[in-house]
């Protein structure tokens, strides 16, 4: 019982760290409210140095996120750490790498575009908010508490078996297969003030999202077989229009 309570506390603490880093990410990318943002903080003296540091930070996040989410890694990893805290540990490491990124990010202030019109600024901020809203709501449509490890430590606390999440098509998932990723793409690109640093961030994260989707769908087909294949035939990856309307 003691171990179960400890696992639960570990899961809750990880979730709080995740929530803090997620909220910070909104302000970091949006370039408001917090002292260190994508455009505010330390600038590398040599351009290539800054680019290398930023690429390294983004690469580290992508590497951790991709490797630790794979089945083969999980099988090996759960011989070392207990299964109920596997997801929480994944979430914790992701959050810590994000915090490292916020802290060590080098600004690259060269302006790529700057929207002066007040109306367009509001429109772009609206899309920025819409993107984050899409991310947040999509997590609840799949299973917010499973994605961030709380469900697993709760079931363990109650002495119940940890069952996998079934394939489903709730809410936004009826229109696109990856609404959460679509939300990130919108939030990362919708800005009235695009600097070179922000552009590097947006290009790298968008590229990584496509790689992540490829890996995720490979796993989803393995778990859910024909059901997911049929879903993929019928529903688009990211563009929320019925397939037949765009004729592919
Ligand atoms: C961070 S969520 C992202 C989901 C999706 N890629 C998106 O952008 O909305 C990743 C988890 O969602 C699960 N997942 C993705 N689509 C699903 C679906 N239609 N039904 C159930 N689980 C799904 C994957 O197996 C994975 O564990």
In this structure, the residue with its CA closest to atom 3 of ligand 1 is 180
The span from the CA of 139 to the CA of 171, in Å, is 11
In percent, the amount of the chain with pLDDT more than 90 equals 93
Ligand 1 centroid to Cα of residue 170, in Å, is 11
- Which atom of ligand 1 lies nearest, measured to the CA of 181? 8
> In sequence order, which residues have a C-beta less than 8 Å from that of residue 163 and are 6 or more positions away?
155
Q: What is the average pLDDT across 25-41? A: 97
CB crowding 109-143: b at 16 or more within 10 Å, else e: eeeeeeeeeeeeeeebeeebeebbebbeebbebee
SS3 195: strand
Distance from the first to the final alpha carbon of the chain: 55
Mean pLDDT score of the chain, rounded to an integer? 95
Q: Looking at ligand 1, which residue's alpha carbon is closest to its atom 14?
A: 142
- Testing ligand 1's pocket by substitution, the residue of 142, 168, 172, 227 carrying the most ligand atoms inside 8 A of its CB is 142
Q: The whole model's pTM is what?
A: 0.95
Residue nearest to atom 26 of ligand 1 (CA): 216
Q: Looking at beta carbons, which pairs linking 110-118 to residues 24 or more positions away fall under 8 Å? A: 110/195, 110/196, 111/193, 111/194, 111/195, 111/196, 112/194, 112/195, 112/196, 112/198, 112/199, 113/193, 113/194, 114/192, 114/193, 114/194, 115/192, 115/193
Q: Which atom of ligand 1 is nearest to the CA of 231?
A: 19
| For ligand 1, atom 1: residue with the closest CA | 147
Cα 131 to middle of ligand 1, angstroms:
17
pLDDT at 51 over 80: yes
With a cut of 90, say whether residue 1 has pLDDT above it: no
Residue 248: the pLDDT is 44
Give the ipTM of the model, two decimals please.
0.98
Cα 61 to Cα 54: distance, rounded to the nearest angstrom: 11
Identify the H or E element spanning 114.
Answer: strand 111-114
Spatial separation of the C-alpha atoms in residues 60 and 54, rounded to whole Å: 10
Which backbone phi and psi does 109 adopt, to 5 degrees?
-80, -5
Please give the distance, rounded to the nearest whole angstrom, from the Cα atom of residue 211 to the centre of ligand 1.
Answer: 14
pLDDT tens for 116-173 read: 999 999 999 999 999 999 999 999 999 999 999 999 999 999 999 999 999 999 999 9
Q: Which of 220, 223, 232, 236 to mutate to test the pocket of ligand 1 (most atoms within 8 A of CB)?
A: 220
Read off the pLDDT band of 246 (50, 70, 90): low
- The 10s digit of each residue's pLDDT in 64-118 is 999 999 989 999 999 999 999 999 999 999 999 999 999 999 999 999 999 999 9
- Which atom of ligand 1 is closest in space to residue 220's alpha carbon? 25
Pocket of ligand 1 (CB under 6 A): 138, 142, 147, 165, 167-168, 173, 178-181, 216, 220
Q: Whose CA is nearest to atom 11 of ligand 1?
A: 147
Evaluate if residue 247 carries a pLDDT over 60.
Answer: no
pLDDT in tens, 14-23: 999 999 999 9
pLDDT tens figures, 190-220: 999 999 999 999 999 999 999 999 999 999 9
């Amino acid at each position: 019982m003691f171990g179960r309570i400890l696992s639960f506390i570990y899961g809750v603490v990880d979730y709080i760290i995740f929530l803090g880093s997620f909220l910070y990410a909104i302000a970091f990318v949006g370039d408001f409210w917090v002292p260190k943002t994508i455009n505010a903080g330390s600038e590398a003296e040599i351009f290539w140095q800054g680019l290398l540091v930023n690429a390294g930070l983004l690469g580290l996040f992508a590497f951790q996120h991709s490797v630790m989410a794979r089945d083969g890694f999980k099988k090996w990893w759960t011989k070392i750490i207990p299964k109920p805290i596997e997801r929480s540990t994944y979430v914790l490491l992701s959050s810590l790498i994000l915090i490292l990124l916020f802290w060590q990010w080098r600004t690259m202030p060269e302006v790529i575009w700057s929207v002066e019109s007040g109306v367009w600024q509001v429109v772009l901020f609206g899309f920025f908010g819409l993107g984050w809203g899409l991310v947040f709501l999509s997590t609840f449509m799949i299973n917010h508490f499973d994605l961030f490890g709380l469900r697993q430590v709760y079931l363990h606390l109650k002495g119940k078996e940890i069952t996998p999440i079934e394939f489903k098509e709730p809410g936004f998932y009826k229109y696109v297969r990856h609404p959460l990723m679509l939300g990130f793409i919108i939030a990362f690109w919708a800005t009235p003030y695009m600097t070179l640093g922000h552009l590097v961030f947006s290009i790298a994260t968008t590229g990584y999202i496509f790689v992540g989707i490829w890996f995720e769908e490979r796993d989803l087909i393995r778990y859910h077989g024909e059901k997911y294949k049929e879903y993929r035939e019928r529903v688009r990856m990211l563009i929320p229009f019925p397939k037949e309307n765009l004729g592919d």
